[in-house]
């Protein structure tokens, strides 16, 4: 039996998974990648994609041509220009910090591949 | 009732009692059953639900509900979450996904009494310009089934062009409503960013994604928009606007333009030759109607493609991190560890183009590259938006081609992602600036339909709608059908 329970509540379980993912994407980036070379195996690891060698070779070629197109933007002078993150330059609307919905694991876990006692089941993480 | 009747024509027939919504819906379902196998524009067809909703609509009309939308059949792009009905986003990853809730757009259409007959095919997670990236197979262009319908809302565009439905919902991140509308000879409107709620619309690039109508003509686009648009507290970027003008359009139709417009022609958009004949004729027609043209410049147009592919891929790599095989979607067989579960579920569940964009986004967001790519792209995004602001100080609207070519052959561009990305050349700048833009049929090239794009200032969808309606009252390009002499 390779599956085990992660002993956390549903909501905190979700947060655990997402946080784990984002931390690995953003903060664990190796410095091995340098300009002009793309370490596809490492990149695939960060993106949590299992790519075999053939797929890596194809992706490497594709990324080189895509990055060549993207690099054309480096010629644009952006001195003194502020970045634009919302297309209409609007800021996100805030709302009152109050509970608006109550948890309904029976309903929301219907789409999960594997559950038990309102937990999501995954392979054992801690021996 | 012809298979190419508009929503408005069907609405009149329903109001007069010429036919019921159940009869109309049955006719749509039999058309889909007969013609869709050669087009593949639907992923899911839902006869039972559709007929139940149609019967309910008939009861509403019998009880005095006079809203023009009650009982009208249409289709949803399979990117909108529908409670109890499969929602796939064209991906193996979600090929078993039944959403536990409805998207706001789905709720609004249902509350307006409209009858969804099914969910249309699309490029996987809306990434593509040819609808060849769908796990459920490519869609054929009804004008020439060897050709693509465009993408990513290719199923919606093909279904409308083939007469299977009069209208469908679409979504547009970098041109995914407008480009397939142009390639299939229909009318498509990408509203201003924030006009239509993104709640329950499967996310691709959240700072760009926007839903809109795909229809036979501008009148139907206005009717659909009046239902789809509106503030939604569940979408943090939903715009709070006065939508009373849209409600008025729904009841009274699009009014005549009361004054001629000054229309900008950006030099940077008129450098390909294939659209020139059709656009020249459209310009002549608009000139006859009293409008004037002015040459303008949008100098950062060429940098829009690189900027878009940095920002959209970065946002996609983040948004698609939720597909991990744990809470919903595809899970690999016999995972040996949590890492193995993540990596194989994602490798098996995503198609090639989606993986390409996730990896592009992962690369440009990575430490040491963030400033050079993501931040740089955001700065150029401001320059692109500023270009439009400058131009709209001089003109009311901008006229441009929608796509650089008419529909191309299947497999023609599949091995060259960069060539495929060029399909978005004329639609991406508007998306980056968050502006409303509409594709309107305006002629033919090589027997295939062409579209002109009308771009307006933020929240001025009324302008392209009124100009398109006026153009369509004086031309019949939008009435041409596959098989007609072009």
Three-state DSSP at B380 gives: helix
Q: Are A110 and B100 a contacting pair at CB < 8 A?
A: yes
Distance of alpha carbon B195 from alpha carbon B197, whole angstroms:
7
- Pick A95 or A127 by higher pLDDT: A95
Q: End-to-end CA distance of chain B, in Å?
A: 24
**DSSP H or E run through B311:** helix B304-319
pLDDT for the residue B374: 96
- Pick B45 or A30 by higher pLDDT: B45
Which one of A88, A89, A119 makes the best mutation probe of the B interface by having the most chain B beta carbons within 10 Å?
Answer: A88
- By C-alpha distance, the chain B residue nearest A67 is B360
Q: Are A48 and B379 a contacting pair at CB < 8 A?
A: no
Which residues are CB-neighbours of B252 under 8 A, at least 6 positions away?
none
pLDDT digits (tens, 9 = 90+) for A67-100: 999 999 999 999 999 999 999 888 878 888 999 8
Q: Two tokens at B476?
A: 């019949």
Q: Are A18 and B321 a contacting pair at CB < 8 A?
A: yes
Which of A14, A76, A124 lies nearest to residue B380, judging by beta carbons? A76
- By C-alpha distance, the chain B residue nearest A38 is B363
pLDDT for the residue B486: 53
pLDDT for the residue B311: 97
* Shortest Cα–Cα distance, B281 to chain A (Å): 33
pLDDT for the residue B398: 98
- By C-alpha distance, the chain A residue nearest B382 is A84
Edge to edge, the sheet with strand B115-120 lists B42-45, B115-120, B73-77, B167-172, B210-215, B187-190, B437-445, B448-455, B397-401, B262-266, B292-296
pLDDT for the residue A49: 97
* Shortest Cα–Cα distance, B434 to chain A (Å): 5
Q: Are A73 and B369 a contacting pair at CB < 8 A?
A: no
Q: Which residues of chain B have pLDDT under 50?
A: none
* Cα B325 to Cα A63, A111, B356, distances in angstroms: 26, 11, 19
Residues of B in contact with A5 (CB under 8 A): none
Distance of alpha carbon A127 from alpha carbon A124, whole angstroms:
7
For residue A12, pLDDT over 50 is answered with no
pTM: 0.93
For residue A17, pLDDT over 80 is answered with no
Q: Where are the domains of chain B?
A: 7-258
Confidence of residue A32 (pLDDT cuts 50, 70, 90): very low
* Shortest Cα–Cα distance, A110 to chain B (Å): 8
Distance of alpha carbon B287 from alpha carbon B279, whole angstroms:
12
Residues of A in contact with B358 (CB under 8 A): 47, 49
Distance of alpha carbon B289 from alpha carbon B474, whole angstroms:
9
Distance of alpha carbon B436 from alpha carbon B392, whole angstroms:
13
Which one of B379, B381, B427, B437 makes the best mutation probe of the A interface by having the most chain A beta carbons within 10 Å?
Answer: B379
For residue A18, pLDDT over 70 is answered with no
Residues of A in contact with B239 (CB under 8 A): 88, 90
Q: Two tokens at A24?
A: 């690995």
Are the beta carbons of B175 and B129 closer than 8 angstroms? yes
Residues of B in contact with A108 (CB under 8 A): 100
Bridge partners, residue B77, by sequence: B120
pLDDT for the residue A92: 79
**DSSP H or E run through B71:** none
Q: Are A51 and B360 a contacting pair at CB < 8 A?
A: no
Are the beta carbons of B202 and B162 closer than 8 angstroms? no
Residues of A in contact with B342 (CB under 8 A): 48
Q: Which residues of B are catalytic?
A: 77, 152, 176
- If one counts every other C-beta atom within 10 angstroms of the C-beta of residue B303, the result is 22
For residue A33, pLDDT over 50 is answered with no
Which one of B306, B314, B344 makes the best mutation probe of the A interface by having the most chain A beta carbons within 10 Å?
Answer: B306
Q: Are A46 and B360 a contacting pair at CB < 8 A?
A: no
Which of A49, A81, A125 lies nearest to residue B343, judging by beta carbons? A49
* Cα A101 to Cα A44, A107, B61, B234, B412, distances in angstroms: 37, 13, 34, 12, 49
* Shortest Cα–Cα distance, B110 to chain A (Å): 22
> CA angle B108-B102-B162, nearest 5°?
70
* Shortest Cα–Cα distance, A1 to chain B (Å): 10
The sign of the torsion formed by the CA atoms of B1, B6, B7, B12 equals negative
* CATH number of B7-258, picked from 3.90.1300.10, 3.20.20.70, 3.50.50.60, 3.90.1150.10: 3.90.1300.10
Q: Which of B430, B395, B433 is nearest to B296 (CA)?
A: B395
Place of tokens 């040996």: B336
The DSSP result for B406-454, as a single string, is S--BTTSSTT-HHHHHGGGTTTHHHHHHT--EEEEEEEEETTEEEEEEE
For residue A42, pLDDT over 70 is answered with yes
Q: Are B376 and A92 a contacting pair at CB < 8 A?
A: no
């Amino acid at each position: 039996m390779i599956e085990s329970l992660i002993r956390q509540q549903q909501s905190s379980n979700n947060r655990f998974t997402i946080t784990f993912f984002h931390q690995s994407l953003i903060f664990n980036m190796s410095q091995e990648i340098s300009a002009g070379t793309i370490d596809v195996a490492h990149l695939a690891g960060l993106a949590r994609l299992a790519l075999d060698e053939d797929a890596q070779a194809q992706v490497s070629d594709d990324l080189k041509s895509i990055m060549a197109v993207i690099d054309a933007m480096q010629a644009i002078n952006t001195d003194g220009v502020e970045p634009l993150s919302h297309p209409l330059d609007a800021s996100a609307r805030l709302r009152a910090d109050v509970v608006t919905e109550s948890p309904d694991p029976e309903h929301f876990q219907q789409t999960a591949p594997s559950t038990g006692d309102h937990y999501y089941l995954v392979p054992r993480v801690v021996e | 009732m012809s298979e190419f009747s508009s929503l408005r024509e069907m609405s009149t027939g329903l109001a007069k009692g010429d036919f019921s919504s159940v009869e109309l819906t049955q006719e749509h379902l039999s058309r889909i059953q007969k013609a869709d196998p050669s087009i593949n524009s639907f992923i899911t067809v839902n006869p039972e639900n559709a007929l139940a909703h149609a019967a309910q609509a008939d009861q509403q009309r019998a009880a005095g509900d006079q809203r023009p939308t009650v009982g009208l059949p249409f289709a949803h792009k399979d990117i909108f979450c529908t409670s109890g009905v499969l929602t796939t986003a064209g991906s193996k990853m979600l090929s078993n996904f039944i959403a536990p809730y409805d998207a706001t757009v789905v709720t609004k259409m249902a509350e307006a009494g409209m009858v969804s007959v099914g969910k249309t095919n699309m490029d996987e997670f809306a990434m593509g310009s040819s609808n060849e990236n769908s796990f459920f197979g490519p869609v054929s262009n009804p004008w020439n089934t060897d050709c693509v319908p465009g993408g990513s809302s290719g199923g919606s565009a093909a279904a409308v062009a083939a007469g299977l439905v009069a209208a469908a919902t679409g979504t547009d991140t970098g041109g995914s409503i407008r480009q397939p509308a142009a390639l299939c000879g229909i009318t498509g409107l990408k509203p201003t960013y924030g006009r239509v709620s993104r709640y329950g619309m499967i996310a691709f690039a959240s700072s760009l994604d926007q839903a809109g109508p795909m229809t036979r003509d501008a009148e139907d686009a206005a009717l659909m928009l009046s239902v789809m648009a509106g503030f939604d507290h569940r979408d943090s970027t939903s715009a709070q606007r006065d939508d009373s003008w849209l409600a008025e359009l729904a009841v009274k139709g699009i009014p005549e333009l009361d004054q001629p417009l000054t229309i900008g022609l950006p030099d940077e958009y008129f450098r390909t030759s294939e659209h020139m004949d059709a656009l020249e004729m459209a310009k002549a027609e608009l000139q006859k109607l009293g409008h004037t043209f002015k040459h303008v410049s949008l100098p950062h147009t060429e940098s829009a493609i690189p900027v878009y592919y940095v920002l959209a891929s970065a946002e996609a790599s983040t948004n698609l991190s939720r597909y991990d095989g744990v809470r919903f979607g595809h899970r690999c067989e016999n995972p040996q560890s949590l890492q193995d579960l993540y990596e194989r579920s994602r490798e098996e569940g995503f198609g090639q183009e989606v993986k390409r964009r996730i990896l592009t986004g992962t690369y440009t967001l990575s430490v040491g590259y963030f400033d050079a790519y993501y931040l740089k792209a955001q700065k150029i995004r401001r320059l692109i938006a500023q270009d439009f602001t400058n131009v709209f100080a001089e003109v009311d609207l901008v006229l441009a081609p929608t796509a650089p070519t008419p529909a191309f052959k299947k497999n023609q561009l599949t091995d060259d992602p960069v060539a495929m990305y060029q399909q978005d050349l004329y639609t991406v700048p508007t998306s980056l600036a968050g502006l409303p833009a509409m594709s309107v049929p305006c002629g033919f090239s090589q027997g295939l339909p062409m579209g002109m794009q009308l771009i307006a200032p933020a929240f001025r969808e009324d302008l392209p709608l009124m100009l398109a309606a006026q153009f369509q009252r004086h031309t019949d390009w939008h009435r041409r059908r596959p098989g007609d002499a072009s």
